[in-house]
Amino acid sequence: MSQAPIKLIPRNVAALRRGQQPADGARPVPGNPVSTRLESGVGNCFPGLECDLRNLERRFFPFLEVDIQDTEIDVISVDLAGVQESAGNGEISADTATTYRQISSGLSQGRRWTISQMRGTFGPLGVQTLVVADLRLPSTGANRLPPDAWTAIRLLTEGTEVELTLRQGNTTRSLVRNRARYLDDNGALAKMFLPGELTQSLCSPWTHDFRDCGCFYWASNHPDIALPVLPTPPPVTPEINTYVPWERKDRTVNTLPDPATIDTPVELSHYEINNRWQTLNFVLEGRETVAPYQLGKFTALKFASLAELVTNLRYAAGVELAVIHEYLAAAYSLKVAGVPATAQDNVDAARAELMRITYGEMRHVRAVNDVLRALDPAAFVPALGVASQVPAPLPDAFRPVVPRPATPEVIQAFIDIERPSVSVDGLYSRILATLEDFGSDETQQTVRSIMADGESHFETFSFIQEWLDKHSPADYLTNPNAGVAPADNALHQKLQEEYLALLERLFNGYALGIPAGAADINTARNAMLGTAGLDGAAEAVAAAGFLVAFDHIPDARFAPVDHP
């Protein structure tokens, strides 16, 4: 039975489920991250990288495809079917259709049709009539003209009228249409572009160019270094997780390549790579792959109910606040003055990175509150209670929250709490899995981004450990034995006041939501900065040899949260 197609739009959750498989939606995205896809790539206007945007201009005028040189524009094809349809429904006149057909007919007989002149709105250069053959460098000063044909076309404002003068021998014709739209209403490439059209002019052979470009210039599916192919069964040696040069000359599969860290690794030469580029291995999830790709299993256990999800989200916000307390204590314990010259850069970097991570956790507090609000706007109460305990590296284990100076042991503890798949990351995995049932795509993406941050925090703490381990704690800590200031210490009290004021602002801002709460949230942000703000108060406490620590606040809004 033949019939015209019908379109089915999913309406209920079960219909969506058939297409989207939400039950396993919280697994890792198969293969490489979105950053390796064409649409995330560095598109530019030169041959190279992922696409050549100049190809868009090949279809700037409806129904024509053109080749563009510096001072010449050749028509190479006419979309006669499109002309026919538009003529049929009255969008173009019969005369215009005839002109298109004449050009097409000429092309089919080997005659050359060129665009000799364009009148139109050339962006900032305004309305102009340009003779293509006259375009040349330099293009400067008042009354400047575009330097070449492609730039001229690129400047044409989308949707404005363009008049072309077309020439074949002594014959001239004129066509007037609006400059074509390159994207459709959904932001996708317009249908007129054929598959491969945007990449057709990439460098050839691109691999030669590729050999010259180091320093992570290329997209992540063309890496400088990658993890080596995993043999079966995988060996337990740590070298299997050491990066190796992707373009190494030795293409043997069964031996582990030399690590990328050795000086001047032996790589394929230009000539070799032109001939053997196909021997480069696919890289998926950072590792070279020679066998069919197997998707990893996602095992996070869902929470049983929305109520349990909410409880755990509130706890997650509390964990973020708790680690902020610990990270701030550690960051401010690092010296700002009196650091030996050999340690100065490392200590500065460690402190800056600790603070950067802390800012990240502050964003997480906000993000978790946003998720809570999205789940049930009517019942939403800001989650700003500090967790009494945070997840420890062992499964189902917790440890108390204690402000400590940034000693080697403490940095190790920070690495442990941010380690992927353990502790905090484990909590968010379960939250993410449960949000499949109760949350929107947006809330899931929010949690994904928190998890991605956690991974980067883990790496950063590892770097901090590496930097500080080169020095003695006495060189970088103001007071390696610092404790919390006595309760009546004026500097400590000032810090508590600043902190409470900050929390109250945040509470109001979160409670109101965006946009109404924006003013409060901004005020809270600003109150953290400068010598008169939380930062100044914390510096003063640290300079006096005490830890930056925050007292328990006797206020139900900020009451400690126990782990569920």
Partner 1 sequence: MMTPFAVIPGDSSAPLFKVFRSALGEHLLIVPHSRIFDVHHDANGDNDAQVLPASLAAALADTANGEVPLDHVVEPPPQSISLNVSSSCNLSCSYCYAARGSFQGAQREPMPWEVARAAIDKLLCGADPLSPVTVGFLGGEPFVNRRLIHRAVEYAAEEGSKRGLDVRFSVTTNGTLLHEEDVELLRKHRFAVTVSVDGGEQIQDLQRPASGGRKGSYEMLLAATRSLLADPGLAQIAARATVVRGEFNLRERFMGVLSIGFREMGFAPLRAAKPGGDALTDEDWPRYLDAIVEVAQSELDRGRQGAPIRFTNLAVALKQIHRGASSPYPCGAGGGYFSVAANGDWYACHRAIGSSMFRVGNNAALDLHQRREFLRARHVHSQPACRQCWARYLCSGGCHQEASSRTDSSCGFVRGWLEFCLAAYCELSVCNPEFFAPSARS
Q: Least distance to partner 1 from the beta carbon of 308, Å?
A: 7
The residue among 258 and 437 lying less far from partner 1, judged by its C-beta, is: 437
Q: Least distance to partner 1 from the beta carbon of 390, Å?
A: 20
Q: Counting contacts by CB under 8 A, is residue 255 touching partner 1?
A: no
Contact 501, 440 (CB under 8 A): no
Q: Counting contacts by CB under 8 A, is residue 94 touching partner 1?
A: no
Q: Least distance to partner 1 from the beta carbon of 394, Å?
A: 19
Give the interface segment with partner 1, choosing from 19-27, 176-184, 255-263, 403-411 (CB under 8 A). 19-27
Query: What is the footprint of partner 1 within residues 225-254 (CB under 8 A)?
Result: none
- Name the CA dihedral angle for 347, 348, 352, 353, rounded to a multiple of 10 degrees: -40
Q: Counting contacts by CB under 8 A, is residue 12 touching partner 1?
A: yes
The residue among 17 and 37 lying less far from partner 1, judged by its C-beta, is: 17
The residue among 442 and 469 lying less far from partner 1, judged by its C-beta, is: 442
Cα distances (angstroms) measured from residue 14 to each of 22, 132, 304, 358: 10, 58, 20, 41
Compute φ and ψ for 82, nearest 5 degrees. -65, -40
Q: Least distance to partner 1 from the beta carbon of 375, Å?
A: 7
**CA-to-CA distance for 471 and 413, rounded, in angstroms?**
19
Q: Least distance to partner 1 from the beta carbon of 372, Å?
A: 11
Cα distances (angstroms) measured from residue 528 to each of 457, 500, 521, 539: 22, 11, 11, 12
* Residues facing 130 on adjacent strands: 118
Site string for partner 1, 268-307 (x = CB under 8 A): ---------------------------------xxxxxxx
A 10 A CB-CB count for 176 gives: 14
Cα distances (angstroms) measured from residue 452 to each of 164, 261, 360, 435, 449: 52, 26, 11, 17, 5
Compute φ and ψ for 482, nearest 5 degrees. -60, 140
Q: Which residues contact 226 (CB under 8 A, 6 or more apart)?
A: 243, 244, 246, 281, 283, 286, 287, 288
Among 94, 137, 379, 556, contact with partner 1 (rule: CB under 8 A): 379
Q: What crossing angle do the helices spanning 490-512 and 534-543 adopt, rounded to 10°?
A: 150
Give the interface segment with partner 1, choosing from 95-103, 317-325, 372-380, 419-427 (CB under 8 A). 372-380
Q: Least distance to partner 1 from the beta carbon of 448, Å?
A: 19
Site string for partner 1, 310-329 (x = CB under 8 A): x-------------------
Q: Which amino acid is it at 498?
A: E
**CA-to-CA distance for 64 and 76, rounded, in angstroms?**
8
Q: Counting contacts by CB under 8 A, is residue 398 touching partner 1?
A: no
Q: Counting contacts by CB under 8 A, is residue 85 touching partner 1?
A: no
Tokens of 545: 């040899």
Q: Least distance to partner 1 from the beta carbon of 18, Å?
A: 5
Q: Counting contacts by CB under 8 A, is residue 495 touching partner 1?
A: no
| Total interface residues for partner 1 by CB under 8 A | 34
Q: Counting contacts by CB under 8 A, is residue 29 touching partner 1?
A: no
Q: Least distance to partner 1 from the beta carbon of 317, Å?
A: 17
Q: Counting contacts by CB under 8 A, is residue 81 touching partner 1?
A: no
* Element holding 284 (H helix, E strand): strand 282-284
Length of the chain: 564
Give the interface segment with partner 1, choosing from 13-21, 82-90, 451-459, 494-502 (CB under 8 A). 13-21
Cα distances (angstroms) measured from residue 336 to each of 326, 332, 348, 349, 407: 18, 9, 8, 11, 16
The residue among 375 and 534 lying less far from partner 1, judged by its C-beta, is: 375
Site string for partner 1, 410-449 (x = CB under 8 A): ---------------------------xx-----------
Contact 119, 152 (CB under 8 A): no
Q: Counting contacts by CB under 8 A, is residue 109 touching partner 1?
A: no
Q: Which residues bind partner 1 (CB under 8 A)?
A: 1, 3-15, 17-18, 21-24, 301-308, 310, 375-376, 379, 437-438
